[in-house]
Amino acid sequence: MPFIHVDENLIAMRLDIALSNHETIQSRSEAKKIINAGNVLINDKSDFVKAKYILKAGDIISFNPLPKVALELSPVPYPLDIVFEDDWILIVNKPVGVVVHPAPGHPKDTLVNYLLHHTKLSTVDAIRPGIVHRIDKDTSGLLVVAKDSKSHEFLAKQFFDHSIKRNYQAVIWGIPESPDGIIDKPLGRHPVDRKKRAVIETGKPATTHWKMLESYHHLSLIDCQLQTGRTHQIRVHLKSIGHGILGDQLYGKFRIFARNYPDHIKKILKEYPSQALHAKSLGFVHPESKEWVEFNSELPYQIQSLITTLRLDASQTGNQ
């Protein structure tokens, strides 16, 4: 049973608000439903557990989530970019704009629907068949998908143990002062904006290794290797060191110093339609052969085209 220990950050907060901050709960409305269903205990007691209960120092909130409601998953034809496939796994290169799995309000036209049209998937999670890990809608790149339960559980353990190798490339605002670095900052749900994650002391440990690949006057191309895999980890970590990702509407919006670029480049940057972040490589132990395998992908055309333009400007102005 999940639990929350009330510390100084939660004292005097309403129960429903505090519960909605738990990473497994999506909204305050869901938190209220859990409370009203009698699924919440405070200090192992159910007496007087109401949404408006004001938390006290030392309170321990324990709860059972609401049962998941299975969505009807329909196969949908789609031209998948399959990098590798065998009887146990599939490696797919997800394009920008595709949601990984169905959810309330988005029941179809997701990667899961497209995969179901192509092959069988593991049923460890009936709501997200085959999905061992996710990347954001506006991030492109590699995902490993499990075709059977044994493979799914084998891969999931590697993600849990942080033994999976994952490298991303991103175009970021500014030029870092050092050629590489490690960002080791805990991440959790943003205290105000539920769509965001933030660096918070009470968050889960998160570590990102990064190194500079190229620089272009006011932007840089970097490689990031994840030691952990928290929600929005790279995006939040890079913002926390002052180098948000180009096109990231939550964490990396247009930077004013880019006005120094020529007008045609400023236009490209302002109109860049997604975040310039790509899951470029993925390595893990294969669930059947037990051998280490590694897969790579090219940056999508959109990012490649941007880099070509930035390289040309940097070479012409001598600011590379």
Largest CA distance in the chain: 72
Cβ atoms within 10 Å of 24's Cβ, excluding its own: 9
Structure tokens at 255: 């930077």
**What does the alpha-carbon distance between residue 16 and residue 12 come to, in Å, rounded to a whole number?**
12
Catalytic residues: 136
Of 256, 181, 278, 171, residue with least CA distance to 216: 171
Phi, psi at 291, each rounded to 5°? -100, 150
Is residue 61 a contact partner of residue 42, using CB atoms and an 8 Å limit?
Answer: yes
Helix (H) or strand (E) holding 35: helix 28-36
Cα–Cα distance between 106 and 96 in angstroms, integer? Answer: 16
Contact of 59 with 42, CB cutoff 8 Å: yes
